[in-house]
Structure 1
Amino acid sequence: MAASTWPSLGDFSKHGSVVSMAPDGTDIKEIVPRSAGYLPDDLVFDGKGGFYFTDFKGGSSSPDGGVYYVGPEGGDPVSVLPNLKIANGVGLSPDGKTLWVTELAGGKLHRVSLADATTVAPFGAVVTYTFTGAGPDSLRIDAEGNVYVAMYGQARVLVFNPLGLPIGQYLLPGRDEGHNLRSTSMAIRPRTDEMLILTNDWDQGEGSTIFAVKALAKAAADPASSK
């Protein structure tokens, strides 16, 4: 089994990291060290073994975050999409040519056509959707290229087609009564169309919950399989 890699926001201010470890919990390594000054929030691997991560910095009036790429051999992160107001969710289309990013404090969904791993194609970066209310959090992409965006503070997941047009949503139970509003992430089980939506109830008394729903298509293939 391959090593696991995950991001950590650290102190939510100046120091976060990306860490990998073996399946048995050993061989822990900092891929992006705390000393580098990023706040990694979400990440996604490409077919070459490199990965993109979001830098969770900024606010509604301070575009200090962005998206960075680390190649399969490691090294310093390379800026791909700068000047974002709290970059949060990140995903790749099934063919690896389109990068999707949510901007939490900016309330935007970015669709980025890639010329290569770190270069945006000419006129390739567009905002396909602008959100209202609480911001867009993590995102996932299915095998048909549909994009699922968890809506923080809204108890729902919005769905977009490969062009970025809204085509549906999932509303969580208890939403009208103010429950399960903290919907932050989701995952589609490998080789299935079962999607798990993660939420918690803040201080409303119902704790944390994982809801199971049917996605519009099966999970996208593991990028490692395309190496």
Structure 2
Amino acid sequence: MGRAYEVAVRAWASLGEGPTWDAAAERLIWVDILASRVHTYAPATGRRTVMATEQHVGAAKPRAGGGLVVNLRDGIGLYGPDGSSFRWLVRDPVPGRRGNDAAVAPDGALWAGTMRYDEARGGGGLARIAPDGTVTAQPGEVSVSNGTGWSPDGRLMYYVDSPTHRIDVFDYDTATQRALNRRPFAHIEEGAGFPDGLTVDAEGRVWVALWDGAAIRRYAPDGRLDRVVGLPVRRPTACAFGGPELRDLYVTTARTGIERPHPLSGSVLVLPDAGRGLPGSAFAG
């Protein structure tokens, strides 16, 4: 049997993260957090771009009117098309803290996470950022805010706070856009790595990257583990469906903190025809 993955983008990202399919431009967006870079890759043409940001960038997502919304060290920023302009939507600097993973909800709001650089317990957070910049903090302790995603019907929200070794699930109130009744969905056993970024497919299955686990896992809607894909890199960070019909699963990876990283650490890998993803939402701001 051949290997499950291919190399989509050979790169040396220190902390590659946040793959997102931009359907309007038919390209993958991903970030290198510690290098303060936003990357794009168009599979149909092979075209790649790189844009520098002024601060460490935890996530970059497409905006409905063109451009990007970015989760930076000191808050949420907006870039115009082709990086032509920048302005802060929300600026809330906290010494020792930075933006981390983020996701756009079906209603077009951004759910953005934070963490401390030293990964201190309780030092992070999760908040809903409305298109007008209104911030609604999610209650509860957060340390390293990571993957966030929604079920196909939008009524469940999945979430990872990495040190908990869990994927949690909320009931998502589509009328009020509130996440309620948090409970464990799946546990990652000790020694298998830490859950990081996640995505939900059209069948309601949850795919998660395991930092220090050298694998991608897929969980059925009832929380049952039903697939494990081993990878050559120790630190896969996140995954997202993209490409034609959203059938290819792209995986970002990291080199940071590894004394002898695998040659593909920092690259973007792809699992061709892994399933079928859900159409993403662009940020409405």
Normalization by structure 1: what TM-score?
A: 0.80
Partner of 2:184: 127
Does residue 92 of structure 1 match 2:150? yes
Counterparts of 1:149 and 1:91, CA distance in 2: 11
1:33 Cα offset (Å): 1.4
1:181 Cα offset (Å): 0.3
Matches within 5 A, 1:1-227: 2-8=66-72, 10=73, 16-35=74-93, 39-57=98-116, 62-75=121-134, 77-115=135-173, 116-120=176-180, 124-131=181-188, 132-133=190-191, 134-173=193-232, 180-190=233-243, 191-201=245-255, 202-205=258-261, 206=263, 207-214=265-272, 216-224=274-282
Cα displacement string for residues 48-97 of structure 1 (whole angstroms, at most 9, x for unaligned residues):
2211112224988723333211112222x212242123221111222222
CA contact (8 A) 1:60 1:106 kept: no
CA contact (8 A) 2:102 2:146 kept: no
- Greater relative contact order structure (CA < 8 Å, 6+ sep): 2
Number of aligned residue pairs: give it: 210
CA distance 1:60–1:25, shift in 2 (3 Å): closer
CA contact (8 A) 1:58 1:64 kept: no
Q: What is the alpha-carbon root mean square deviation over aligned residues?
A: 2.7
CA contact (8 A) 2:67 2:83 kept: no
SS in 2 for 1:72: coil
In structure 1, what residue type is equivalent to 2:149? G
Counterparts of 2:208 and 2:105, CA distance in 1: 20
In structure 1, what residue type is equivalent to 2:247? D
Runs of 4+ that moved beyond 6 A:
58-61
Deviates more, 1:86-95 or 1:147-156: 86-95
Counterparts of 1:142 and 1:100, CA distance in 2: 12
Counterparts of 1:214 and 1:83, CA distance in 2: 37
Counterparts of 2:155 and 2:94, CA distance in 1: 28
Deviates more, 1:194-203 or 1:94-103: 194-203
Structure 1: any 5+ residue segments left out of the alignment? 11-15, 174-179
Counterparts of 1:29 and 1:162, CA distance in 2: 39
